[in-house]
Copies of this chain bind each other. A is one copy, B any other.
Amino acid sequence: MDNGGAGELLRILRDGRPRTRADLAAISGLGRAAISARIEVLLEVGLIVPVSDAASTGGRPSARLAFNPGAGLAAAADLGATHATVALTDLSGRILLETTEGLEISRGPEDVLDWLVMTLQDQLETMGRPGSDVVAVGIGLPGPVEHSTGKPNSPPIMPGWDGFDVPGYVQQTFDMPVLVDNDVNIMALGERATHWPDEDNMIFLKVATGIGSGVISGGVLQRGAAGVAGDVGHIAVSNAAGIPCRCGQTACLEAIAGAPAVAAGLREGGVEAITASDIVSLVRSGDLTAIKGVRQAGRDIGEMLNMCVSLINPSLIVIGGSLAQSGEHLIAGIREMVYARSTPLATQHLNIIQSKIGPDAGIVGASILAIEHALAPQRVNELTVALQPGGHRNTFLPDMDHITRAS
């Protein structure tokens, strides 16, 4: 059966707005008969539902249909250098159950992924849902990933992971699509899905121990030829001239504006600080040395972002990561340099702001990665087969505000 049209109807309804059959015909350009056949398929597996209309009291079924994020689950994992989070979400990326633990990525792929799979099984049991309710698994890793195969590509802080078949290993337990990407890329996906669905050209910049970015151009997350697009931490900036970086080069942005470098600068100024959270606490307590240090880091980051603005012409730059918690002082330094140097046209409609989603960016983004794959129009056939009718599904309308935590 040709379900191309069903995928298109689902794509239209995924913005959460209920629509009538006439609305769907007008937007999709499909005929009335084609619409009816395709709606039936989607209703059968619960991906769309009739909306209970408050105004209707006559008992007639509502004429409006809506996407039902409760028709299935997505599994998400955000694996960092020293901690790991696993969650189950609905099909809109809403977190239903979340578990976070201290876990060193350097323990190697088998240990870490065994924990991931076990945690997911526990979560499914807690919720009383079968594994077949999960449409896909999304995983974020702290290093470069070849997105097409899901294999880490020479990751510097992940011994044992280079070239490891992450999807294949997880699929031994969960026989479904497994999508893997870099942690900053999934943060960009999470930030966009929750707060900026209409921004087609944006950069999500993570400022923490390392500095990296996720680039969305033309509405699509860009991974580049080898999966290392957005790797901006080792771009040379003038203030870092001569300063050695952990990558083996000198003059890298990270070597002067990453959290360890900023902390070292504060210690030279007589202020005790080691981690990003030390710096953030100092800034929040009004420590002048810390405020000056963070603002200067912002300027150095801004020098690098100038080039990004010229090259990809974004309308939004979102600053996230632990050092971004120091708030407006960092952003002010960034803005100072970007607006001083970039061309008027490139900055005419440019916003530079702090991340709105905050620490959940990664886990929500991993869920979005899985959902975007499973619900892509060309895959609706597979999805409607996987979501057999008769399984028990929750039915509710999208709501990103209420988040339940298990940890």
Number of copies: 2
**Is A144 a contact partner of B310 (Cβ separation < 8 A)?**
no
**Is B235 a contact partner of A345 (Cβ separation < 8 A)?**
no
Chain A, 138-165, contact with B by CB distance < 8 Å: what is the 0/1 string?
0000001000000001100000000000
Which of A15-23, A39-47, A98-106, A218-226 binds B?
A: A218-226
Shortest Cβ distance from residue A34 to the other chain B in the assembled complex, whole angstroms: 6
- Residue A236 CB within 8 A of the other chain: yes
Cα(A4)–Cα(B303), bound, Å: 46
Interface size on A, residues (CB 8 A): 53
- Residue A227 CB within 8 A of the other chain: yes
**Is B345 a contact partner of A34 (Cβ separation < 8 A)?**
no
Within 8 A of B (CB), among A177-235: 200-201, 213, 215, 217-218, 220, 222-232, 234-235
Query: Contacts A217-B218, A229-B312, A311-B215 given: A343-B224 contact, CB under 8 Å?
Result: no
Cα(A144)–Cα(B344), bound, Å: 12
Shortest Cβ distance from residue A145 to the other chain B in the assembled complex, whole angstroms: 11
Query: Contacts A153-B345, A231-B346, A345-B144 given: A225-B5 contact, CB under 8 Å?
Result: no
**Is B230 a contact partner of A311 (Cβ separation < 8 A)?**
yes
Kindly list chain B residues whose C-beta atoms are within 8 Å of the C-beta of A235: 306-307, 310-311
**Is B310 a contact partner of A311 (Cβ separation < 8 A)?**
no
Within 8 A of B (CB), among A302-317: 303-304, 306-308, 310-315
**Is A231 a contact partner of B310 (Cβ separation < 8 A)?**
yes
A residues lining the B interface (CB < 8 Å): 2, 4-5, 29-31, 34, 144, 153-154, 200-201, 213, 215, 217-218, 220, 222-232, 234-236, 238, 247, 249, 303-304, 306-308, 310-315, 341, 343-346, 348-350
Kindly list chain B residues whose C-beta atoms are within 8 Å of the C-beta of A348: 226
Which among A34, A201, A213 has the greatest number of chain B C-beta atoms within 10 A? Answer: A201
Kindly list chain B residues whose C-beta atoms are within 8 Å of the C-beta of A34: 2
Set B154, B201, B310: member contacting A345, Cβ < 8 A: B154
Shortest Cβ distance from residue A52 to the other chain B in the assembled complex, whole angstroms: 32
Shortest Cβ distance from residue A103 to the other chain B in the assembled complex, whole angstroms: 25
Cα(A144)–Cα(B343), bound, Å: 12
